[in-house]
Amino acid sequence: MSAQSDSTVFATMGRAAPRLGTLPMRRIIIGIAAAVSLSLCVIVSAILILNARHAVQDEIGSAFHLAHESVVRRLPPSHGGRDTMAEAAGLAEEIDGLRHVSARILDPAGLPLQHRANGQLAAEDAPPRWFSALMTPAPIQALVPITHYPNVLGMFQITADPTDEIAEVWDDFSVILPVLFLTGLAMVGLAVGLSSLLGRRLQSVQAAMAQMQAGDLSVRAPGDRLTEFADLAAGVNALASHLQAERAENDLLQSRLIGSSEAERSRIALDLHDEMGPQLFALRAAASHAQAMTADLPASPAALAETLDAIARHAVEIQKSARTAINDLRPMLLGEASLTDLLAELVAGFRDVSSQTRIILDIDPAAEGHSPGELAELSIYRFVRESVLNAMRHGQATLIRVSLEPQPDDPAQLVARVTDNGRGPQRSADGARPAASFGQIGMQDRARALGATYLPPWRDHTLTHTELRMPRP
C-alpha cells in the first residue's frame, strides 16, 4: 500500500464536513424524540378526552333519568284540593339543587316562573371554553306538564347539566396535561443528552482519525466503556497499526529503491563519461586536425571548410549535452565536494541559463561541515533544482532565494528552503489547491523514504515558499 493510498483511506474515513444527502445524527435523534413525544402527548390526551366525554355522558344521563322518574312519580295529581303549582315549585327547587340536572317551572307560554337554585360556577373554577366544548354531550331535556283538572298550569322542565362533572374532569386534566408535557420535555432532554454523549464519543474517534489523515499514524483512538464505541476505536486503531506497518515497509522499500536507482544512475553517468567522453574528445580533435590540414591546402574548397566547421560545432554541442545529462544523472561534484559547493554550482548554472532571474544562495554557516549523507545531499540537490525550475518556468519568478540552515526549534534537522516572487500555485475556481505534479510526488516519496519532511509550495502574501526538512545523521 502506498502513501497515497494511506491518505485516500483516511480522507474517506475522517472527513468531517457534511456531505450531500446526509443528516447529522444529533438532529435525527432530537427530531425523532420530539416527534414521538408530541405524538404520545396527542394520543394520550385524545384517549383521555374521549374516555372523559363518555364518562360525563353516562354520569349526566343516569342523573337525568333518576330526576325524570322522581318528577313523574312525585308531581301532585291533577285533581283534589292540593296546591299543585306550589308543590311543583318545591319539587323543582329540590331537583335543581341536585348535581348534573336542572329544573324550572315554565308558564303555559314557555317563560320561566323561577330562577335556578344552584346558579353557575365561579369564573375562577370554570374550565376553559374549549374544554367545555369538547366535554359537553348532546343536550338532554324533558317537559312534564303540571295540570289541575281541567287546566294546564305550566310545564316542569328537566335538563341535564354537565357543568359540575366537566369541572371535576378539568381538575384532573389540569394535573395530567402538565405531567404529559413535562414527560415529553424529559424525553427530548434525554435524547439531547444521549446524542451529545454519542457525539462526543464519535468526535474523539474522528479527532484521532483526522490526525491520522494528516499523516500521524502513531495516534490512537481512545477506548470507551460502551461496547460499540470500544469496538469502533479498536477497529480504527488496528487499521492505523496496519497502515503504520505498511508505511514503514513502503519507506524501507522506497529507500532501497532510491539507493538502487541512484546507484544505477551513477553507473550510467560513469559509463557515459568513460565511453562517450573519450569518443567526443577524439571527434573534436579529429575535426580540429582536419580543419588545420584544410587551411594548409593551397586551393581548399569552401564547402569542405564549412562542413568541418559544422562538425566541430555539433561535436561541442553534443559534448555539452552529454555533460548536462551526466550532471542530471549524478552531479559531478557529488562525493568530492560539500553540499554547499553542489548548490553553488547549481545556482551558477541557473544564472547562466536565465540571466533575467536573480538567484540568491544563502547558506547558514551552522549548516556547513555536517554532511547528512550522500543520499540526503542528493535529495536536497534535486529538491532545489526542481523547485527553482518550477519557479522559473511556471511561476515566472524574477527573484529566487535558496537557503540552507538548521531548523530553529530542532537543530538536528537541516532545512532547505526555496522562496520566490512568482505567481505561486494557482488555485481552481472553487478555491481547491492544484493537484501535485509528478516532481512534487517524487520529492514527497523520496522525503518520506529518508525520514524527511517535504512541504509543497504555499503562498505567503506575495511570496511562494517550499521546504525540505532533512534529518541529520
What's 343's domain CATH number?
A: 3.30.565.10
CA pair distance 342, 332, nearest whole angstrom: 9
CA pair distance 201, 212, nearest whole angstrom: 17
CA pair distance 376, 372, nearest whole angstrom: 6
Picking from 188, 204, 228, the residue at the C-terminal end of a domain is 188
Asked if residue 19 is part of any domain, the answer here is no
Half-sphere exposure (CA, 13 Å, Cβ side) for 411?
A: 6
Contacts 24+ apart (CB under 8 A), 62-70: 63/98, 63/99, 63/100, 63/101, 63/160, 64/100, 64/101, 64/140, 64/142, 64/158, 64/160, 67/95, 67/98, 67/101, 67/103, 67/158, 68/142, 68/144, 68/158, 70/95
Residue-level pLDDT at 258: 66
pLDDT in tens, 83-107: 778 888 888 888 888 888 888 888 8
pLDDT in tens, 67-85: 888 888 888 776 666 677 8
Asked if residue 251 is part of any domain, the answer here is no
Please determine, for residue 467, whether its predicted confidence score (pLDDT) is greater than 50: yes
Q: How confident is the model at residue 17 (pLDDT cuts 50, 70, 90)?
A: very low
Asked if residue 324 is part of any domain, the answer here is no
Q: Using the 8-state DSSP alphabet, how is residue 334 labeled?
A: B
Tell me the average pLDDT across 230-235. Answer: 87
CA pair distance 364, 430, nearest whole angstrom: 40
Other beta carbons within 10 Å of 422: 22
Asked if residue 349 is part of any domain, the answer here is yes
**β-strand partners of 93:** none
CA pair distance 129, 149, nearest whole angstrom: 45
Q: Counting every residue, how long is the chain?
A: 473
CA pair distance 336, 302, nearest whole angstrom: 47
- Per the model's pLDDT, the better-predicted residue between 338 and 34 turns out to be 34
Picking from 166, 188, 210, the residue at the C-terminal end of a domain is 188
Q: How many domains does the chain have?
A: 2
Could you tell me the three cell numbers for 180?
404529559
Q: Show the beta-strand stretches assigned E in 92-171.
A: 101-106, 141-148, 151-160
Please determine, for residue 401, whether its predicted confidence score (pLDDT) is greater than 90: yes
Average pLDDT, the chain: 79
**β-strand partners of 141:** 159
CA pair distance 299, 51, nearest whole angstrom: 135
Residue-level pLDDT at 430: 59
Q: Show the beta-strand stretches assigned E in 188-289.
A: none
Asked if residue 279 is part of any domain, the answer here is no
Tell me the average pLDDT across 322-349. Answer: 72
CA pair distance 69, 72, nearest whole angstrom: 5
Asked if residue 358 is part of any domain, the answer here is yes
Asked if residue 114 is part of any domain, the answer here is yes
φ and ψ at 403, to 5 degrees? -125, 150
Closest to 240 in 3D by CA, of 232, 229, 433, 341: 232
Out of 70-74, 168-172, 333-337, least confident range: 333-337
Indicate yes or no: pTM above 0.85.
no
At how many degrees (to 10) do helices 163-213 and 227-271 cross?
Answer: 20
CA pair distance 313, 416, nearest whole angstrom: 39
Other beta carbons within 10 Å of 381: 20
CA pair distance 301, 295, nearest whole angstrom: 10
Residue 354's contacts (CB-CB under 8 Å, 6 or more residues apart) are 392
CA pair distance 380, 417, nearest whole angstrom: 10
Tell me the average pLDDT across 14-24. Answer: 56
Q: Using the 8-state DSSP alphabet, how is residue 365 labeled?
A: G
Residue-level pLDDT at 1: 42
Please determine, for residue 121, whether its predicted confidence score (pLDDT) is greater than 60: no
Picking from 188, 203, 222, the residue at the C-terminal end of a domain is 188
Residue-level pLDDT at 5: 43
Closest to 76 in 3D by CA, of 155, 147, 158: 147
Considering 29-33, 296-300, 366-370, the range whose residues carry the highest mean pLDDT is: 29-33
Residues spanned by the domain of 360: 338-473
Half-sphere exposure (CA, 13 Å, Cβ side) for 200?
A: 7
Asked if residue 167 is part of any domain, the answer here is yes
Other beta carbons within 10 Å of 139: 9
What are the angstrom distances between the C-alpha of 63 and each of 27, 216, 248, 426, 470? Answer: 53, 83, 91, 90, 100
One-letter amino acid at 48 equals L
Q: How confident is the model at residue 13 (pLDDT cuts 50, 70, 90)?
A: very low
Q: What percent of the chain has pLDDT over 70?
A: 81
- Per the model's pLDDT, the better-predicted residue between 261 and 19 turns out to be 261
